[in-house]
Chains A and B, each alone.
Chain A
Amino acid sequence: MNAPTPPVLMPGELRTIAQTLLGMLTTDSATINITHQVTRVTRIAHNRVQRLNNGETLQCSLLTSLGGKGTVSLSINQLDDDTLRSAVQYVERVARETTGDPAVGPQAMPVPPRQYLPNTSWSESTARALGVDRQSMVVEIVQPMVDAQLIGAAFIGASAQSTLNATKQGVLATGEVTDTELVVTGWNRPSGAGIAGSGWAGQAVRTWDRLDAAAVSAEAVRITKLAANPVAFEPGRRTVILGRPAMAQIVHAMGRDFDAYTTHMGMTPLSIHKLRDRVLDERLTLSSDPNDPEGGYLPFDDQGHPRIPMTWIDHGRLANLAYGAMYAASAGVRSANQWSDSLRLSATSGTALMTTEEMIASCKEGIYVNRVADIEVVHARSGVMTGVTSGGCFLVRNGKIDKPVKDFRFLDSPYFFLNRLIAVGTSERTAFGYAPWHGEWPIAPTIVPPVMVRDFNFSALADNV
């Protein structure tokens, strides 16, 4: 039996295209980036399939320097020989007409061979799922909603992407990634005036076979029923239990804080700190690892620089900043580790862990937030961000969920409230759902625990419908 055709161009095919282009280019330096992505999406609204959306993007970018006088770049989405030849002719023509002679100028130096970690972000299961019927899980998602007399909306997404980075100076990095995300939102049917209340659950994994639609749907049903008929509750500083979906949204927004250049320019919350200063509670560690079994990512960046495991915050103390290649060179720093979108926030070893249920049981009065949305960093130097609770927000009293409450807007900084930590749980990769404030879908894996903190700042009520 023949192996199924891969959904995207594989590394060998990408290398052949890159070698063809680099062979044609006569300029002294050139960079080729190729990305091929296929997405398969099912959207559910009102307990039925609303639409299947299938997308495919192919982008091949050529970039050449103009003898130290700038660059010309262009990208194409057809890879036949005629188009490749035209691309090269175009780049060289633009180079001539804007600088005279692109060959005159400093010569780019050869790059020594680079070593990359193995790529662990590809799943054959997901690649296969892109080519077959993926609709069987729709019934698993929707039927529990129907049975519970709720209104359900859901998103099932799978993607595969292959990437190449190559230069005339000898860099060659290729890799491929798969990802999947399942998100279920439920609404109670409105009875009279007011908001009926909604619940949210999701799962994001690299491997299609690990998606557990029944479990995600059951969790969405459970939270939605709990959230029925929320009441308004006074905002203010309160003890809060932030579920993993809430923490993922917040932690993902912290990623860029570790960029060394912007930090040294005074533009991040870490600018006022030195390495080894305490920035979070000492029970917390923040790291990235291309081979993280839950949160792996390609072991090279978009310029072909290797990405290696990094610890950003160790036992609450600032451990490393991320140096891009240019800044590392100018700062005389040996390492050129770039920050990664993918983060793991976890309890340091030896910390007593609590489940979300145990946090609720230990809380005299507070708010349990399942998820937050609409994240915006409003003050870069302190990391203060705002957002809105969404998909389940509850008043906790005397160790139990007392009642659902209407959504809040919050205004706080993780560098503040993660220093007011009461309890922390185990870390897992968490889905994001609709989150354009974090970039394009799929969003890089973010592995977080639930936390309980005191004096979290709910600044206002936020009507959600």
Chain B
Amino acid sequence: MHRFQRLATRRQFLVSSTATLASVALGAPSAHALGTHVSHLRLPRTAAARRTTPGQWLPPTSSAEQFRALALVAMEAARGAGADFADIRMGVQRDFAAFGVGITVGYGVRACVNGTWSFQAGTTLTSDAVALAARTAVSDACTASVVNAKLHQPRGLDWAHTPVVSGEWRSPVDVDPFAVTLNDYIHVSRAAAEVGRRLGEGVETNCIIGWQIETRVFASTDGSLVTQEWTRGGALLSATAVLPNPDEQVEIVVPDVVRHSVGFEAALDPAIPERLTVAAEQAIRWRELRQSPFTDVGRYSVVLDGAAMAGVLGYTVSNALDGDRVADFEADASGRSFLTPVAEIVAATTPQFSPLLTMTSGRTAPSLTAVQWDDDGVVPDSYTLIERGRVIDYHTTRETAPHVAACYAAHTQPLRSHGRCLAPTPGSVPMSFGGDVRVNPGSERVSVDDLMRDMGRGFCVMGASVRASPGLTGGFIRSPLVVEVQQGKPVRRLRNVWFAFTIKSVASKALVALGDARTLGTATVTTQKGMPWQTMEYPMTAPAAFCKEVDVVRMDISA
């Protein structure tokens, strides 16, 4: 996957949900017969089939008890092989979206010997296979530790301590999305489409709907054993003001409804038609403006709506606070962080960013990232990353927390993991990520229109793809909807316009004002981490912002 992610669009939702979910697995309900698969189902032809539930389309899978038993076998094998420490994530992801179903099953064992780590992934769910995976991980860690000893390099930092944990946890859900019928899914989609039909005026309203339920077991040689069931999903709602030229029509995505830790009750929210209507009215409003090519490169004031600002800050500032980057574990991959050395950053007398910026992270429901224990077995906490422009904390795991020890020392806090360890699938390598990151909105009542009102000539960017430069100190913004503003009023829509931003232009001196809570928008921050790389995602929410001195550039140069 490419790093240049389009944010909160129908396309992205399809990629992140339907396509990966649209699969079929099979197998008898034994621990052996599970599959990962990809299948595109069409709407069932018969009324009887439509009265079935998604759960009936998903084949039986191993039970949580079976996963737990296998996880314990693996940990026993790791202990027997001489691991100083080992842990395992094992489970199954079951998906249903747009009449496609899927199951992904697997596990990953981590083992440590003399401070050196190894990871072994697997998919075969037998006692012999998981025990072999565990022994292989230990053996590899042992071999690598001998190499490290030969190099006479300092031993890796010991991981942050965490207590032994046990128990079970489920996402708080009112209506099980796999227990309602396909007809219920169809009704939600049709109700959304009906909003557009009722409005007329050449507007189409759409709903793409999907859920994932994952069972994941975590166990460690310390004695931790936890089981979690996460229910995640929702509806992507959008309104499109249609024009004969598809390149000119305007699509508005209803903000902040895409994928949460929620049940089917989210799709039954009575406010959905009203929110779709608001989006449709916005699409109609912007369609009224003529669209023209962009020619006037230069440096302008820019208003970023909430989703655009979230993308900009997520791909730069929040990623620069990622523990893997700060610890240089990503030095040969996604890169390092400009917010280092940690001791100097947290002791700086001058704030690194605008005093308007306060950024926090949490992992509580209904956030998509909500869990009781992360993939280190740590209970996640909520924390402030940036307070009035000053960096005070980082995203950490057990592995990366010791690398920001100076930060905890500066605040006279105990060294701890914030619980930001994530393996995107049970068989993926666990890495750090951001959790649910939020920027506080402005305290005064300020809308996007209010922010535009102060402009002489400038631009308003609504929704955006963001690409950060490798150093994360800047990047590019490309948006499907850019409006030119003159004397506080929108005058035309633009196409093929790019914005080159630096942290200075959007998060420091040139950040003039933030919108209020009504302007909050969410972007999905997608990063490829590791070698070989794997996709890590988290939601980022921010208010609209007024920034001055943003470079507006063209990318269609000629020979």
A and B associate = yes
A interface residue numbers (CB < 8 A to B): 39, 41-59, 61, 70-78, 80, 82-83, 86-87, 89-90, 94, 97-100, 133, 135, 138-139, 142-143, 146, 151, 153-155, 157, 183, 185, 187, 373-374, 376, 378-379, 382, 384, 386, 388, 390, 407, 409, 411-413, 415-416, 419, 433-434, 436-437, 440-442, 457, 459-460, 462-465
A139 CB contacts on chain B under 8 angstroms: 147, 150-151
A157 CB contacts on chain B under 8 angstroms: 531-532
Distance in angstroms from A158 CB to nearest chain B CB is 11
Check if A74 sits within 8 Å of B556, measured CB to CB: no
| Known contacts A59-B36, A436-B528; A47 and B153 CB within 8 A of each other | yes
Check if B328 sits within 8 Å of A46, measured CB to CB: yes
B150 CB contacts on chain A under 8 angstroms: 139
A463 CB contacts on chain B under 8 angstroms: 338, 469, 471, 473-474
Task: Report B457-471 CB contacts with A as 1/0, cut-off 8 Å.
Answer: 000000000010111
- The one of A54, A373, A382 in contact with B118, judged by C-beta atoms closer than 8 angstroms, is A54
The residue on A at minimum CB distance from B26 is A86
Query: In which size bucket is the chain B interface?
Result: 35 or more
- The one of A183, A384, A390 in contact with B470, judged by C-beta atoms closer than 8 angstroms, is A390
Check if B32 sits within 8 Å of A82, measured CB to CB: yes
The complex places the Cα of A407 from the Cα of B471 at a distance, in Å, of: 10
Check if B119 sits within 8 Å of A441, measured CB to CB: no
4 additional A-B pairs beyond A48-B148, A73-B37, beta carbons within 8 Å, are A49-B147, A76-B26, A436-B1, A463-B473
The complex places the Cα of A436 from the Cα of B527 at a distance, in Å, of: 10
Check if B151 sits within 8 Å of A419, measured CB to CB: no
Which segment of B42-50, B165-173, B432-440 sits at the interface? B42-50
Check if A465 sits within 8 Å of B35, measured CB to CB: no
| Known contacts A87-B26, A463-B471; A56 and B122 CB within 8 A of each other | yes
Say if the beta carbon of B33 comes within 8 Å of chain A. Answer: yes
Distance in angstroms from A153 CB to nearest chain B CB is 4
Check if A41 sits within 8 Å of B140, measured CB to CB: no
B2 CB contacts on chain A under 8 angstroms: 376, 436-437
- The one of A44, A49, A70, A412 in contact with B42, judged by C-beta atoms closer than 8 angstroms, is A70
Check if B557 sits within 8 Å of A457, measured CB to CB: yes
B38 CB contacts on chain A under 8 angstroms: 61, 73-75
The complex places the Cα of A80 from the Cα of B40 at a distance, in Å, of: 24
B interface residue numbers (CB < 8 A to A): 1-4, 23-28, 30, 32-46, 49, 59, 105, 116-124, 136-137, 140-141, 143-148, 150-151, 153-154, 156, 327-329, 331-338, 340, 427, 429, 467, 469-474, 476, 498, 500, 528, 530-533, 553, 555-559
Distance in angstroms from A345 CB to nearest chain B CB is 19
The residue on B at minimum CB distance from A406 is B471
Check if B3 sits within 8 Å of A374, measured CB to CB: yes
Check if A97 sits within 8 Å of B46, measured CB to CB: yes
Check if A53 sits within 8 Å of B429, measured CB to CB: yes
Distance in angstroms from A414 CB to nearest chain B CB is 11
Check if A465 sits within 8 Å of B335, measured CB to CB: yes
Report, nearest first, the 5 A-B pairs whose CB atoms are least far apart: A76-B35, A441-B532, A436-B528, A75-B37, A153-B332
- The one of B43, B120, B156, B327 in contact with A98, judged by C-beta atoms closer than 8 angstroms, is B43
The complex places the Cα of A52 from the Cα of B133 at a distance, in Å, of: 13
- The one of B116, B329, B469, B531 in contact with A409, judged by C-beta atoms closer than 8 angstroms, is B469
B338 CB contacts on chain A under 8 angstroms: 463, 465
Distance in angstroms from B386 CB to nearest chain A CB is 19
Check if A465 sits within 8 Å of B336, measured CB to CB: yes
How many A-B contacts if CB must be within 8 Å?
Answer: 264
B121 CB contacts on chain A under 8 angstroms: 53-56
The complex places the Cα of A279 from the Cα of B143 at a distance, in Å, of: 52
B329 CB contacts on chain A under 8 angstroms: 43, 45, 50
The complex places the Cα of A458 from the Cα of B141 at a distance, in Å, of: 44
The residue on B at minimum CB distance from A464 is B471
Check if A153 sits within 8 Å of B26, measured CB to CB: no
B30 CB contacts on chain A under 8 angstroms: 82
B32 CB contacts on chain A under 8 angstroms: 78, 80, 82-83
- The one of A49, A76, A94, A460 in contact with B144, judged by C-beta atoms closer than 8 angstroms, is A49
The complex places the Cα of A441 from the Cα of B530 at a distance, in Å, of: 11
10 contacting pairs across A/B (C-beta < 8 A)? A45-B332, A52-B119, A59-B36, A61-B38, A97-B45, A183-B531, A378-B498, A434-B333, A441-B533, A465-B335
- The one of B24, B124, B327 in contact with A94, judged by C-beta atoms closer than 8 angstroms, is B24
The complex places the Cα of A44 from the Cα of B498 at a distance, in Å, of: 37
The complex places the Cα of A139 from the Cα of B1 at a distance, in Å, of: 33
Distance in angstroms from B208 CB to nearest chain A CB is 19
| Known contacts A54-B121, A86-B59, A462-B471; A155 and B533 CB within 8 A of each other | no
B559 CB contacts on chain A under 8 angstroms: 413, 415-416, 419
A57 CB contacts on chain B under 8 angstroms: 123
| Known contacts A155-B332, A384-B556; A82 and B140 CB within 8 A of each other | no
A376 CB contacts on chain B under 8 angstroms: 2, 4, 467
The complex places the Cα of A378 from the Cα of B467 at a distance, in Å, of: 12
Check if A76 sits within 8 Å of B25, measured CB to CB: yes
The complex places the Cα of A194 from the Cα of B1 at a distance, in Å, of: 32
- The one of A89, A154, A416, A440 in contact with B532, judged by C-beta atoms closer than 8 angstroms, is A440
